[in-house]
Amino acid sequence: MTFEQVRHRPPSPLGEPRELVVACAPMRSNVNLSTIMRTAGCCGVVRLIVCGNARIDRTIARDGADAVQLEVRNSLAPALRRLREEGYRLVGLEQTTNSTNLHSYAFPKRTALVIGNERAGIGDTELALLDDCVEIPVWGRPYSYNVATATAMALYEYCRQFPS
């Protein structure tokens, strides 16, 4: 028995936009930011908040650059306060003393996923504003994943929990 394989099947449309926002600290690399935007687009995220001198490389972000609304802010803390006022749970992707393993964390449907800087992570001011922190287990060195890779894992886990 053989099965015909079909390549590049069009995606299933989401009924309503996801109640997921990605909020990024200033990034050192526009490649990482562009990769995060592409992944956000793949996951049906429609709102990406970035801080600092953010530039998107459209050859990396591809269709994500058209699918995701980019909001550029001067700093992250006021944006997080605003998201909380809008009813989002602020979930940081960071290794902390009280972070929860991503594999066992139950995302609230209305989540703002907060992403830190590649080197400095999430700053102390922003950490104090978060409701929860999740971390991704690492079994070797270096002790953390690349920021774009880690964001992709967290977005995928959210989508696994809320497939539509």
CA–CA dist 71, 76 (Å, integer): 11
Domain 20-161, second-level architecture: 3-Layer(aba) Sandwich (3.40)
3-class DSSP state for residue 132?
strand
| CA–CA dist 152, 156 (Å, integer) | 6
pLDDT tens by residue, 119-161? 999 999 999 999 999 999 999 998 899 999 999 999 999 999 9
Identity of the residue numbered 91: V
* Torsion from C-alpha of 88, 90, 91, 95, nearest 10 degrees: 180
CA-wise closest residue to 38 among 18, 11, 66, 12: 66
pLDDT tens for each residue of 22-67: 999 999 999 999 999 999 999 999 999 999 888 899 999 988 888 8
pTM here is 0.92
Identify any residues that bridge with 50 across adjacent strands, giving them in sequence order.
Answer: 24, 72
